[in-house]
Amino acid sequence: MKIHEYQAKELFATYGIPVDRSIVCRSVEDAVKAYSQLDSQKVIVKAQVHTGGRGKAGGVKLANGEVELRKHAAAILGMDIKGFTVDRILVGQAINIEKEYYVSYVIDRKSKSAILMLSKEGGMDIEEVARISPEKIHKFVIDPSTGMPDYLAREAAFKLFDDIKQVRQAAVILQKLYKLFISTDASLAEINPLVLTKEGEIMAIDAKMTFDDNALFRHSKIATLNEPTEEEKKEQNAKNKGFSYVNLGGEIGCMVNGAGLAMATMDLIKLYGGNPANFLDIGGSSNPTKVIEAMKLLLSDQNVKVVLINIFGGITRCDDVAKGLLEAFKQIKTDIPVVIRLTGTNEKEGRALLQGSGLHVAETMGEATEKAVSMCQ
């Protein structure tokens, strides 16, 4: 789950991480009010959207004086950035930047740990730094049982600073950011850039956090910050029904039990010359109500011309699956052709039951996919 920069900065402030003074605004008038409150000739106006690259898209501007502020605020509010409409901007005091740094905590699959990443190349896209000069990124794997003790935070801070006073300031920020990361079950806590100001202060002037969806049950406050897009809402609705659903834009709707098999099915459709409409994993069992719900979901997609059902019958045997499917299809009225492929335990019995039901029955994934693709053309 993503949150906005201004929300992340509020969390930073709660955990004692220094941030620039800034105010979130939903209108030009709000922005003007914020400008007077900030009491700073120059301010930064930043679009608040759940996507990267807002700078390149023109969503970040420096305003010198109220006139410029009005102009930029008006331009950015309502702007479309990668499909996201900007409805909030963050107006912040402009900072006298001496130098910019990159800092983040992120989950690392390989070490099965949280890691701290730091770089003197702040303000840049970190993937870009990783590609061009990976030696400029320092990584610290964190032992979860000890976290970020003083020595480790200091060791990390020495990668960015030489002056011991700055090292100590930065070390405390690294410890606080780690605490925030762990306490909120974050999957990313990024400061890019962390800046050293001309006045000698170290502070975060951007803030990015994402959270582990599986842990939101114990972070109700953070969960309320969720702002799903329309597409994400659809996915979320599917999830609430026990499905995983992702729209892919093609014509062949698919319904599969199991995520891996569902991915393999959509890949096969492409391999056979078709276009998958979606990824849809209906989970372990395949009871009639679930099939009905899944079919409704598939048929709500106007692009779908054929439905391909691919079920592996394991613990639930194919003959039981077939009975469930027949029951479900009694209640679904549609002209869209449905291809069913049923494999696994008792597959012959299962397929036999489906014969004569009006559903197109196939033996293998290949055969089923070929059928579905040809019906589409």
Q: Which of 155, 201, 227, 327 binds another protein (CB under 8 A)?
A: 155
User: What is d(CA 300, CA 92) in angstroms, rounded to the nearest whole number?
Assistant: 44
How many CA atoms lie less than 13 Å away from 49 in the CB half-sphere?
24
Residues 11 and 209: beta-carbon distance below 8 Å: yes
What lies within 8 Å, CB to CB, of 164 at 6+ separation is none
* CB closer to another protein, 95 vs 339: 339
User: What is d(CA 141, CA 111) in angstroms, rounded to the nearest whole number?
Assistant: 7
Per-residue contact string for residues 49-88; x = within reach of another protein by CB under 8 A:
----------------------------------------
Per-residue contact string for residues 3-42; x = within reach of another protein by CB under 8 A:
----------------------------------------
Q: Counting every residue, how long is the chain?
A: 377
Least distance (Å) between residue 261 CB and another protein: 4
Question: Which tokens hold the place of 83?
Answer: 């499909």
Q: Which of 117, 187, 255, 370 binds another protein (CB under 8 A)?
A: 187
Buried (b) or exposed (e) across 355-376, using 16+ Cβ within 10 A?
eeeebbbbeebeebbbbbbebb
User: What is d(CA 262, CA 281) in angstroms, rounded to the nearest whole number?
Assistant: 6
| Strand-pair partners of 194 | 101, 204
Using the rule CB under 8 A, is 263 a contact of another protein?
yes
Least distance (Å) between residue 200 CB and another protein: 16
The amino acid at 231: E
Instruction: Kindly give the residue spans of alpha helices, DSSP state H, lying in the chain.
Output: 5-14, 28-38, 66-76, 126-132, 150-157, 164-183, 220-223, 230-240, 259-271, 288-299, 318-331, 347-354, 365-376
Query: Which residue among the candidates 5, 100, 121, 190 is catalytic per the annotation?
Result: 190
Q: Which of 133, 134, 150, 236 binds another protein (CB under 8 A)?
A: 150
* CB closer to another protein, 127 vs 335: 127
Query: Which residue among the candidates 15, 35, 101, 102 is catalytic per the annotation?
Result: 102
Using the rule CB under 8 A, is 112 a contact of another protein?
yes
* CB closer to another protein, 42 vs 168: 168
* CB closer to another protein, 230 vs 335: 230
Q: Which of 215, 299, 332, 336 binds another protein (CB under 8 A)?
A: 215
User: What is d(CA 343, CA 345) in angstroms, rounded to the nearest whole number?
Assistant: 7
User: What is d(CA 71, CA 54) in angstroms, rounded to the nearest whole number?
Assistant: 17
Least distance (Å) between residue 158 CB and another protein: 5
Least distance (Å) between residue 6 CB and another protein: 22
Stretch that binds another protein, among 11-19, 29-37, 193-201, 206-214 (CB under 8 A): 206-214
Least distance (Å) between residue 302 CB and another protein: 19
Residues 158 and 174: beta-carbon distance below 8 Å: no
* CB closer to another protein, 24 vs 148: 148
Residues 202 and 169: beta-carbon distance below 8 Å: yes
* Catalytic (active site) residue 190: yes
Using the rule CB under 8 A, is 145 a contact of another protein?
yes
Least distance (Å) between residue 125 CB and another protein: 9
Q: Which of 91, 365, 372, 373 binds another protein (CB under 8 A)?
A: 365
Q: Which of 32, 75, 94, 107 binds another protein (CB under 8 A)?
A: 107
* Catalytic (active site) residue 245: no
Long-range contacts of 23-28 (CB under 8 A, 24+ apart): 23/90, 23/91, 23/92, 24/48, 24/88, 24/89, 24/90, 24/91, 25/73, 25/88, 25/89, 25/90, 25/91, 26/77, 26/87, 26/88, 27/77, 28/70, 28/73, 28/74, 28/77
Using the rule CB under 8 A, is 285 a contact of another protein?
no
What does the binding site for another protein look like in residue numbers (CB under 8 A)?
Answer: 107, 109-110, 112-114, 127, 143-146, 149-152, 154-155, 158, 163-164, 167, 182, 185, 187, 212-215, 217-218, 244, 246, 248, 256-264, 266-271, 276, 279, 281, 284, 312-315, 343-345, 364-366
Residues with catalytic annotation?
A: 102, 190
